[in-house]
Amino acid sequence: MKLGMIGLGRMGANMAQRLMKGGHQIVGFDPQAAARKDLEGKGAQTADSLTALVAALPSPRTLWLMVPAGEATDANLDALLPLLAAGDTIIDGGNSFYKDSMRRAKRFAERDIAYVDCGTSGGIWGLDEGYSLMIGGDEAAVERMRPIFESLAPAKDRGWARVGPAGAGHFAKMVHNGIEYGMMQAYAEGFSILRHKAEFDMDLQQVAEIWRYGSVVRSWLLDLTADALKKNPDMSGIAPYVADSGEGRWTVDEAIELNVPAPIITQSLIERLRSRDKDSFTDKLLSAMRNEFGGHPIKKA
């Protein structure tokens, strides 16, 4: 197929390349000229505006949106709406909030434009290994896009599927990321316990290697953790500071809204907030309270 790729950052550029390897033709757009030039160097056609992009695509058009969730996505969609026609298809492959995707799908459906939400997992490895794709939206539209999904996924019949109506794809991806938070935190705590058992002076990378083969905790995340430990066994030069990119928060909110207890996913998010709260008012007040009732000494800042 010939399709437009909007957003040529790390993810979008990689996906464009994987699609080209799969035999598709790509017209790429990104406001950054350098990003466009990079992709041209890899064999893609590019366009320097959304208008030019849309003009470069055969009708009915297919557009893959790979831009940051939220305002950037809405801005692109606002700009696209008047440029597109009935029968066209937009796929949002970014990390959008599923309720936004539901709203957007409805808005485009009014113009007979299909809007497909595709949760995409795979990170920087997807280019070579393929992406895991959780897809929401109209069944016929998803079926029309089959060749794209088959190329992006690790295999034609693996690692992708339509999981439900509009929003369902991004909902599944949101939960996926919540699980990821929990798994990461479980590994990190475990390695931290091993490291603090000074009397055993363990080689964490060696332990990770053992676990990679035959153990119940083997996983791709463990493979990557083993790599990270190999490169930097003491994590030196790395600040104890963990960012989060939104999906964890949504998962927590959603779990509460659905009355589903999700203590591990929730606490994993809180741990990330905690890693960034170096000057915790909570802890200072606790220290002051201990002093008030028990005369316990306060550690000075």
For residue 3, give the 3-state DSSP assignment.
Answer: strand
Q: What minimum distance in Å lies between the beta carbon of 73 and its own copies?
A: 19
Catalytic residue among 150, 180, 209, 271: 180
109 binds its own copies (CB under 8 A): no
Site size toward its own copies, by CB under 8 A: 137
Q: 140 vs 239, which CB is nearer to its own copies?
A: 239
Site string for its own copies, 78-107 (x = CB under 8 A): ------------------------------
Q: What minimum distance in Å lies between the beta carbon of 99 and its own copies?
A: 11
Q: What minimum distance in Å lies between the beta carbon of 204 and its own copies?
A: 9
- Contact, 100 vs 166, CB < 8 A? no
**Distance between CA atoms of residues 148 and 24, nearest Å:** 8
**Which CA distances in Å does 213 have to 74, 150, 189?**
45, 30, 20
**Distance between CA atoms of residues 117 and 141, nearest Å:** 11
Active site annotation includes 300: no
Active site annotation includes 150: no
Q: What minimum distance in Å lies between the beta carbon of 280 and its own copies?
A: 4
Q: Cβ contacts of residue 210 below 8 Å, gap of 6+?
A: none
Interactions with its own copies, residue window 265-294 (CB under 8 A): 265-294
Q: 54 vs 187, which CB is nearer to its own copies?
A: 187
Among 103, 121, 138, 144, binds its own copies (CB under 8 A): 121
**Distance between CA atoms of residues 146 and 204, nearest Å:** 43
Alpha helix ranges (H) inside 66-145 = 71-80, 98-109, 126-129, 139-144
Catalytic sites, residue numbers: 173, 180
